[in-house]
Amino acid sequence: MEKEKYYVSLASHEISKVRYHNNDDFVIYATEEEVRELRNKLHSMYRRDMDAYWRAHIPIVKYHHDPGNETYDREITEVFQMLYELGGEQTKEYIKSTGVLNDMHM
């Protein structure tokens, strides 16, 4: 399957072939299957983020004792790993510069 260019926005969880407004946080080159996998990861991240939002309204549950936050942290790291693997040079350089994957093998 041929890889195509996509624009990814983490803020809106958007993956698009068309660049417009601020949807180009990251540029990746991916197959349709890889895009589906990334979309699934972004959707799962969104669900975990909503779980954390509701948990934040329960003051007796501390952040570091919430398995949902651990899951979110793991999933966002997986998203960055996938963006790195599929990314163009600027995407890879940016992700390297943030250090978000320092504990993982790039």
- Identify whether the C-beta of residue 62 lies closer than 8 Å to the C-beta of residue 30: no
**What is residue 1's predicted lDDT score, i.e. its pLDDT?**
79
SS3 21: coil
**What is residue 63's predicted lDDT score, i.e. its pLDDT?**
60
Q: What are the backbone dihedrals phi and psi of residue 12, each rounded to the nearest 5 degrees, phi first?
A: -100, 0
DSSP tag of 59: T
**What is residue 75's predicted lDDT score, i.e. its pLDDT?**
87
Q: Are strands 14-16 and 4-9 parallel, antiparallel or unpaired?
A: antiparallel
Measured distance CA(106)–CA(104) in Å, rounded: 6
pTM of the model as a whole: 0.81
- Identify whether the C-beta of residue 3 lies closer than 8 Å to the C-beta of residue 29: yes
**What is residue 2's predicted lDDT score, i.e. its pLDDT?**
92
Over the chain (106 residues), the average pLDDT of each successive run of 10 is 93 91 91 96 82 69 65 87 95 92 66
**What is residue 65's predicted lDDT score, i.e. its pLDDT?**
62
SS3 37: helix
